[in-house]
Amino acid sequence: ALFDGRIDFAVHSLKDLPTRLPDGIVLACVPEREDPRDAFVSLKAKTLAELPAGAVVGTASLRRQAQVLFARRDLRVAVLRGNVDTRLAKLEAGEADATFLALAGLKRMGLESRAASLVDPFESPPAACQGAIAITALADDVRVRDALMQCENVTARTEIEAERAFLDALDGSCRTPIGAFASVNGAQMTFIGETLTPDGTQRWRREATIELSGDAIWAARKLGHDLGDEIREEAGDAIVLDT
């Protein structure tokens, strides 16, 4: 639609945006980010740790499945699909004992109270760029890009650039569970990223805190890419799955 001239810009959930955009399209604007954490949702327990052995955690996310199995080998995971309302209804119908949903989605729908608890992002990082919105435009459309810059949030942009660089280094297009979380606090940024095998038996993670002096975006990208490269070198073929 952008290339055809039918729209001036497009709005996406950033975590669903490809790591590498088509030539001629750019990530023109990242507005203020909503809370990136995962919410634990259950009618039977407050946290994952409180679920009884053998309980079923329903989720369609490979990352969440792997993180659950890494934390609790005695639980079972099942695919739970649908929009937020559908998944909540399936939970109430007993198709699963618990699930995880993006807190941002719950808050935007006025359903934040459905969260039994919130997941510590340093214990189980969320999907890269969760809670962030992406606005894309044509690279050569100066008028639209200049207008969109009024909605740009520098903190959000810095965080998501680190997370997207981490994905890119790990080839985020592969079917590998990957979590990433960057948090800017003043002149510092803390980053944690991990990848796991889908069965949750192995996990590789890196974390670091850097000073954001000079070009903060460049520093964020470099950190995310460097840590992703380290994991890829350490994990090798274990995180490259057949498609």
State the catalytic residues.
16
User: Rounded to whole angstroms, how far apart are CA atoms 228 and 233?
Assistant: 9
Q: Provide the 3-class DSSP secondary structure of residue 206.
A: strand
Q: 193, 114, 185, 148: which is closest to 11 by C-alpha?
A: 148
φ, ψ at 114 (rounded to 5°): -75, -10
Q: Is the dihedral of CA 83, 85, 88, 89 positive or negative?
A: negative
Range 147-150 contact pairs with CB under 8 angstroms and sequence separation of 24 or more: 148/9, 148/28, 148/29, 149/28, 149/29
User: Rounded to whole angstroms, how far apart are CA atoms 101 and 91?
Assistant: 12
Q: Provide the 3-class DSSP secondary structure of residue 210.
A: strand
